[in-house]
Amino acid sequence: MGGRQTSAARPAIVCVNDRMQSDYQYLLTAPEGDWFDPSFRPELAPPEMLALGVFGGKYMTDCREEFPAIWFAHARLAAGRRDASLNCFGVDAGAPLSEWRRKGWIHPDDPRGWFQWYCRYYRGRRVPGEDERQIARWQAFRRHLAQLRKHCEPGDLSCRRRQRQALLQWAYDSRKI
């Protein structure tokens, strides 16, 4: 199917073959960007995050076939290694994937972590149990918003840039603070 959703009424099958997954398949059962859990209200969609600059521009370079081409029209992607200057706030933020694995945060269906889960959820994949776990992790990350409000003047995007970048990578738009 090449990652394209044909209809919300008829589930579409997405086949994944990239560096981290071979012959993985999932169903799109919800319309793209819709039918979210009521407790999950991300402020940014995956294409917006990619356009702003996340994960040093390296996160999605080998799995573009899985997602709509429009997602990458304005994406800030690295040609080679990770490049923190491509990030919205120009800094590296977050732990390496090895740390995520060590802490048990990686689900086998989404070996790249939370953002991969979110991209697939946004597209319309639903995984009972895993969706609730990832939404709870997203909700827990909200605590960083309170720290920005406490320590930064409104509109000062240079304040706590690593924390702002990390929030962006969890679909929170700290540019509003």
Is residue 50, in this structure, part of any structural domain at all?
yes
- The closest alpha carbon to 56, from 94, 20, 112, belongs to 94
pLDDT digits (tens, 9 = 90+) for 99-145: 878 988 889 999 999 999 999 999 999 999 999 999 999 999 999 99
Is residue 54, in this structure, part of any structural domain at all?
yes
What's the pLDDT at 114?
A: 94
- Can you tell me the distance from the alpha carbon of 49 to that of 45, in angstroms, rounded to the nearest whole number? 6
pTM higher than 0.75 for the full model?
Answer: yes
- The closest alpha carbon to 33, from 171, 173, 136, belongs to 171
Q: Please determine, for residue 52, whether its predicted confidence score (pLDDT) is greater than 50.
A: yes
Is residue 125, in this structure, part of any structural domain at all?
yes
pLDDT digits (tens, 9 = 90+) for 80-102: 999 999 999 999 997 777 887 89
Mean pLDDT of 6-22: 83
- The closest alpha carbon to 64, from 127, 4, 134, 125, belongs to 4
Instruction: Mention every residue, 6+ apart, whose C-beta is less than 8 A from residue 113.
Output: 97, 100, 105, 106
Is residue 32, in this structure, part of any structural domain at all?
no
Q: Please determine, for residue 6, whether its predicted confidence score (pLDDT) is greater than 60.
A: no
Q: Which domain holds residue 93?
A: 41-176
Is residue 7, in this structure, part of any structural domain at all?
no
Is residue 129, in this structure, part of any structural domain at all?
yes
Is residue 91, in this structure, part of any structural domain at all?
yes
Q: CA triplet 115, 177, 135: central angle to 5 degrees?
A: 30
Q: Please determine, for residue 2, whether its predicted confidence score (pLDDT) is greater than 50.
A: no
Chain-centre distance for alpha carbon 84? 17
Is residue 6, in this structure, part of any structural domain at all?
no
Q: Give the count of domains, the chain.
A: 1
Instruction: Mention every residue, 6+ apart, whose C-beta is less than 8 A from residue 130.
Output: 107, 109, 110, 117
Q: Please determine, for residue 7, whether its predicted confidence score (pLDDT) is greater than 70.
A: no
- Can you tell me the distance from the alpha carbon of 160 to that of 142, in angstroms, rounded to the nearest whole number? 15
